[in-house]
Amino acid sequence: MSEKSTLKILVLGGTGMVGSAIIRTLRQNGYINLLTPTREHLNLTDQLSVRQFFEVNRPHQVYMAAAKVGGIHANSSFPADFILQNLTLQTNVIDACFLSGVKRVLFLGSSCIYPKFSPQPITEEALLSGQLELTNEAYAVAKIAGIKLCENFNRQYGASKGIDYRSIMPCNLYGPGDNYHELNSHVIPALLRRVHQAKMRGSSSVTVWGTGSPRREFLFVDDVARAAVFVMGAAKDLYSSVTGPLVSHLNVGSGSDLTVAELAQTIKSVVGFKGEIIYDSTKPDGTQMKLLDNRRIAALGWSPVVTLHEGLVRAYDDFRGRVERLEIKL
């Protein structure tokens, strides 16, 4: 039997945007022995339940894509929830991986881990070099803790136990399965929803939070899923050639950015909205610029394949389909 049929792979967060994309990518690559428990079947904030699940199922690899996520409004309004839930669930999972003998883990974080005023493009060495952006500090602190948890398990037990826990830090993600909540979504799903509503209602304008001047980098979710599977499967010597004991994570980005205003105009075109985009400068902009330096993962042989325009078309098709199926109520 081939390794792809016998390797038992656990994907946590499999109903979310990133987790479901990882599952799609694994299946496309021929992996069939997948464990994909839902939140109803496995509560990751319950340490005992997590340990029991790992003890019974004994996965060989674990993709840690489960997290409490949200946009600026959600992060600003519920910071205690974001830091507590993320710290709890990721600690429970990594602890259970170690106790049950899982040799390889891929932990997914976010580019918000980096300081607000990092030199651009942001290299992996920028981690912990300055003050975080206040609007998502709680989430960022939790993700930094996850990176360091994986990193220090490797430092202490890598040689003696043969474990190899890896981390990737994607830029802003979007695509099928995104969260389109009216208040708690990220910028692309929020704009797709708002512009679509304006088009359906025949409105003359759409209001966008902030000045429109911040620059953002975006990556289609299937591209980050490809990166996750690629990094998980990379030989240890190869991965070690671009990482180190104290800089063990990899950036995953598209390599280019654009202003929020340019993004809004692109979404306006994709949706077919003919009205005006208005910017509400009383609302926060967040970090002014956040472009990742992705030379390390590029050196391993990975690069994105989906352009922003193509990705937005696919995301909008997914959004409209979910509206038609009443999964999203406008």
Q: What is the pLDDT of residue 220?
A: 98
H/E/C letters for each residue in 31-42?
A: CCCEECCCCCCC
Out of 63, 139, 174, 239, the active site residue is 139
CATH classification at residue 269: 3.40.50.720
Handedness of CA 181, 83, 104, 298 (dihedral sign): positive
Distances in Å between the alpha carbon of 74 and those of 25, 87, 137, 283?
A: 29, 17, 12, 14
Two tokens, residue 110: 């976010």
pLDDT band at 1 (very low <50, low <70, confident <90, very high): low
Active site residue 139: yes
pLDDT at 215 over 80: yes
pLDDT number for residue 131: 95
Beta strands in the chain (DSSP E): 9-12, 34-35, 61-64, 104-108, 164-170, 172-174, 205-209, 215-216, 218-220, 249-252, 258-259, 276-280, 289-290
pLDDT tens figures, 14-23: 999 999 999 9
Its domain, for residue 149, covers: 3-324
Of the chain, the percentage scoring pLDDT greater than 70 comes to 100
319 contacts 243 by C-beta, under 8 angstroms: no
Q: With respect to residue 288, please indicate whether it lies within any of the assigned structural domains.
A: yes
Q: Looking at the 3D structure of the chain, how many domains does it have?
A: 1
Indicate the pTM of the whole model. Answer: 0.94
Distance CA 216, CA 172 (A): 8
Position 2 pLDDT exceeds 80? no
Task: For residue 329, tell me if it sits in a domain.
Answer: no
Residue 14 host element (H or E): none
pLDDT in tens, 80-136: 999 999 999 999 999 999 999 999 999 999 999 999 999 999 999 999 999 998 888
* Residue 118 in domain: yes
Q: How far apart are CA 243 and CA 240, in angstroms?
A: 5
- Say if residue 171's pLDDT is above 90: yes
Which is more confident, 195 or 2? 195
| Confidence (pLDDT) at 286 | 75
Does a structural domain hold residue 330?
no
